Amino acid sequence: MSLLVVLPDEPAGPVLPVALANALSEAGLEVLGVAGSASFARQVEALAPRQALIWLPSPTPVTTPALFEALRAWAGVPPCALSLASAPLSAAQHDELVALGVHAWLHIDAVEAVDAASLAALAARAQARWQRESALRTELENLRTRMDERKWVDRAKGLLMSARGIGEDEAFGLLRGAAMHANLRLGEVSRSVIEAAQWADAINRAGQLRMLSQRLVRLAAQQLAGIDAQRARVLRTQSAERVQHNLDHLAALGLAATGAQALAEAQGAWTGLSTALAARPSAAGLTDIDQRAEMLLAAAETLTKTLEASGARRALRIVNICGRQRMRAQRLAKDALLASVLKEGTAHARLVPTMDEFEAALLELERAPLSTSEIRASLASARDEWLRLVGGVRTLDSADGRAALVRSSDALVDTFERLTASYEHSLQVIMS
């Protein structure tokens, strides 16, 4: 058996006594090296002995604390068996040595008194106890892994059952089939399913911030223009609460550094916008609100892209594309009202590009293979509502046109909210 001998710290360095070296040799123990307390742990890592023998014939107030400090590096789980040969120790010292991972102890009075048989028996006891403890730790770790996997499997089954409206057996079959196809453990697949759902939800929530930034400006413009002002006030309060709720939810996810930075920028932009919204509506104030909303839109776009990249799943892109349509519907209505109320040329110039972007994204969604009968029906409804919204933009000079604009923009948001949720809960995204 290979052995590292740990000796009391001496000014000249550790030196293996001849009598001890002879006894170890007779006991069939091969000495790989010797070490003092300071180099003990490093030498064990470097030499990888099957066992370390701590030789402490005369414990002192200096040597004993140094030894204990060296052992604490392993937190009671040493990488090899530990045996101790020393003069008598106190009961408290024995208790601490056991807690620090020492497996066997031999009482010695002097170097000359030690014999090969005693050292062989000491090494055998230490090795047997270390192997038993190692087996128990492995068994405990396997049990914890199985319990952890069971937790993830149960959560993943529940998510699939809720999202897809299927039974427990079918949900388990999906997970088991995915695990076999990917050659992964069932617990690994289940955990990935939960994480995919969490990323999809986070992307959806971050994407909602884009839409809400534009909706809040649109509602402020509605109030100023006297278009269904009472309802606009109620929706403005609800929208502001929703922004803060989503920001709080995302903050609780414990995002990585890049995501946390993007979230902080979105929070800062929202603070500026919410302050501007608290002022009494005016033409000048509306311009300031729009500028601050653009800052929140840009921050939310960065946050959404960061989350999509962090999720590392191509299927999550469709959730982002669909969610962005909510923002475009609100942006189009907002710019149309700003162009009408404030006669703002910049807002008017954005109308055609926004309509082109919306149309291109709608076509991409209609052609995407990620589809169900429910998704196809919602896309058809979105197409009809989109045509009504475009009609409202073209008849903006009339009261009926402005009312149609507001109604259709809200209807499109509701439609794409449902669509985004459908994509988020689709089997392709969940099992991606």
Q: pLDDT tens-digit profile of 251-270?
A: 998 888 999 999 999 999 99
The pLDDT confidence band at residue 219, using thresholds 50, 70 and 90, is: very high
Tell me which of 57-71, 102-116, 274-288, 314-328 is least confident.
57-71
- According to the model, what pLDDT value does residue 311 have? 64
Largest CA distance in the chain: 110
d(CA 37, CA 14): 9
- According to the model, what pLDDT value does residue 11 have? 63
d(CA 101, CA 97): 6
Beta-bridge partners for 107: 86
Sign of the CA dihedral with 107 first, then 84, 128, and 134 last: positive
In which residue are the tokens 């439609």 written?
415
- Higher pLDDT: 70 or 431? It is 70
- According to the model, what pLDDT value does residue 343 have? 81
Count other C-beta atoms under 10 Å from residue 301's C-beta: 20
For the entire predicted model, the pTM comes to 0.62
Strands annotated E in 66-113: 81-86, 104-107
Q: What DSSP state is assigned to residue 279?
A: S
The pLDDT confidence band at residue 126, using thresholds 50, 70 and 90, is: very high
Q: Is the pLDDT of residue 314 over 70?
A: no
Query: What is the length of the chain?
Result: 432
The answer to whether 368 and 318 are in contact (CB under 8 A) is: yes
Q: What's the mean pLDDT in 168-189?
A: 84
CA neighbor of 218 nearest in space, from 231, 202, 199, 206: 231
CA neighbor of 385 nearest in space, from 364, 362, 365, 353: 362
- According to the model, what pLDDT value does residue 63 have? 62
- According to the model, what pLDDT value does residue 367 have? 87
Q: Is 420 exposed, middle or buried (0-12, 13-18, 19+ CB in 10 A)?
A: buried
Q: For residue 54, what are the contacts with CB-CB under 8 A and spacing of at least 6?
A: 6, 67, 82, 83, 84, 85, 86, 102
Sign of the CA dihedral with 102 first, then 104, 109, and 112 last: negative
Tell me which of 83-97, 180-194, 385-399 is least confident.
180-194
In which residue are the tokens 């994204």 written?
361
- According to the model, what pLDDT value does residue 301 have? 94
- According to the model, what pLDDT value does residue 10 have? 65
Q: Is the pLDDT of residue 62 over 70?
A: no
Q: Is the pLDDT of residue 50 over 60?
A: yes
Sheet of 51-56: strand order equals 30-35, 2-6, 51-56, 81-86, 104-107
Q: What's the mean pLDDT in 236-254?
A: 94
Q: Tell me the C-alpha to C-alpha distance, in Å, between residue 162 and each of 3, 167, 197, 416.
A: 59, 9, 12, 20
The answer to whether 83 and 53 are in contact (CB under 8 A) is: yes
Q: Is the pLDDT of residue 211 over 70?
A: yes
- According to the model, what pLDDT value does residue 83 have? 92
